Amino acid sequence: MVKLTQDQFDLYTYKNTGKSVSVRSFTWTNQSHVSVQVITYGATITSMKVPDKNGAIKDVVGGGSTIAEYQKAEVYFGATVGRVANRIGNGQFRLFDQIVNVSKNLGKHQLHGGFVGFDKVIWEYYVSGNKVIMSYHSADGEEGYPGDVVVHATFELTENNEFLVEYKATTTKPTFVNLTNHSYFNLAGHDAGASELYKHVVCINADQITEVDNDSIPTGKLLPVANTVFDLQVPKVLGDVITKVPNSDGFDHNFCINKGPEQGTTFIARVYHPESGRMLEVYSNQPGVQFYTSNFFPENPKTYKGDKTKLATLSGKGASYYKHGALCLETQNWPDAPNHDNFPKSILVPGETYHHNVAYKFSVKN
């Protein structure tokens, strides 16, 4: 039997009015001692606690203990990201015969929905059995996007140790929608750092990636992964390949899943940490997954050989987070899809429903 409890996580204060509202938390626990918590700020996964092969339970996702920690971090810990996840090149796209300009929060580009994306707002909620449904109304013109968009995110933990997330969205005008969850995983424990992440064995069900330029904007070209560091169809130890990624400090690439959404939910990726025995499998109906290895996290002062007085800090849940300390598997449409006719369709029109599901399945391998 799965138990669901509700509590107050923290208070969120609106800067323009000074009014404070309660951020609610929802925590599921099953009989296998797997537990997951989600909060209404950003429809964010704040923790995933999973036993190892000896029964020791650890939280395997990075995050914060307070709203202030999430606001300071600015790395999308566990959040629902939108209206369009990933990058929009030059902050614009063509929508039929119109050029639409959206906000530019990454130089001349947009990243993860703009300055105030879905990750930085309070979502409404209601509970139905063991499901929590969170909703957000994204107004026409928000961050430059046309159309009033209503989004529903449904969360549920099962007795089979699967955490299920389902996104649905509708619009009043033609627009683009591409959502994702941005959880940072380290199966040795959220605070275990790069040394443990390098031991993870990673497999991704993709035989192509989208080529990107120096700003990580897709060029429109697809590159086969065969005979490259990106060939993760055969499982690889992360530490053996992460330093071999060309022109990058690690992985931050969209992998084109071998089966598209027309085949329904399919296997996306598998991550295994041999020492703990913890394994995570990801399934989704989305055509891509952004594999990211926290390349832009601050350097660890214990190993960094440069000017340590200039090192930034990134912290949460009583831990400090450093470069390569976690990995993300962001199921989504391909980045910058509105600007590439050969990418999967990302336009949403009135009368249609955007539908995205993802399952995170935990297990233990002895």
3-state SS of 62-110 is: CCCCCHHHHHHHCCCCCCEECCECCEEHHHEEEECCEEEECCCCECCEE
How confident is the model at residue 259, as a pLDDT? Answer: 75
How confident is the model at residue 313, as a pLDDT? Answer: 87
Distance CA 360, CA 180 (A): 13
Task: Centre a 10 Å sphere on the Cβ of residue 361 and count the other Cβ atoms it contains.
Answer: 16
The verdict on whether residue 182 carries a ligand-binding annotation is yes
- Pull the structure tokens for residue 208: 């192509």
Does residue 87 contact residue 93 with C-beta atoms inside 8 Å?
Answer: no
- Report the number of distinct structural domains present in the chain: 1
**Residue whose entry in the numeric block shows the structure tokens 């600015």:** 74
The verdict on whether residue 360 carries a ligand-binding annotation is no
**Residue whose entry in the numeric block shows the structure tokens 């140790």:** 161
The verdict on whether residue 190 carries a ligand-binding annotation is no
How confident is the model at residue 322, as a pLDDT? Answer: 96
- Pull the structure tokens for residue 205: 């069900």
Assign residue 257 the CATH number of its domain. Answer: 2.70.98.10
Cα 20 → chain centroid: 27
Q: Catalytic amino acids?
A: 182, 330
How confident is the model at residue 260, as a pLDDT? Answer: 54
> Residue 21 belongs to what domain range?
3-364
Question: What's the N-to-C CA distance of the chain in angstroms?
Answer: 25
Pairing between β-strand 347-348 and β-strand 175-176 as defined by DSSP bridges: antiparallel
The verdict on whether residue 252 carries a ligand-binding annotation is yes
pLDDT, mean of each 10-residue run, the chain (366 residues): 97 91 98 98 98 98 97 96 97 94 97 97 97 98 98 98 98 98 98 98 98 95 97 98 94 90 83 98 97 96 85 92 97 97 95 98 93
Cα 323 → chain centroid: 17
Which DSSP letter does residue 177 get?
A: -
Instruction: Report CA-CA distances (Å) from 25 to 92, 109, 166, 307.
Output: 36, 33, 18, 40
**Residue whose entry in the numeric block shows the structure tokens 């041999």:** 274
How confident is the model at residue 136, as a pLDDT? Answer: 98
Distance CA 85, CA 206 (A): 20
Distance CA 255, CA 197 (A): 20
The verdict on whether residue 200 carries a ligand-binding annotation is no
How confident is the model at residue 41, as a pLDDT? Answer: 98
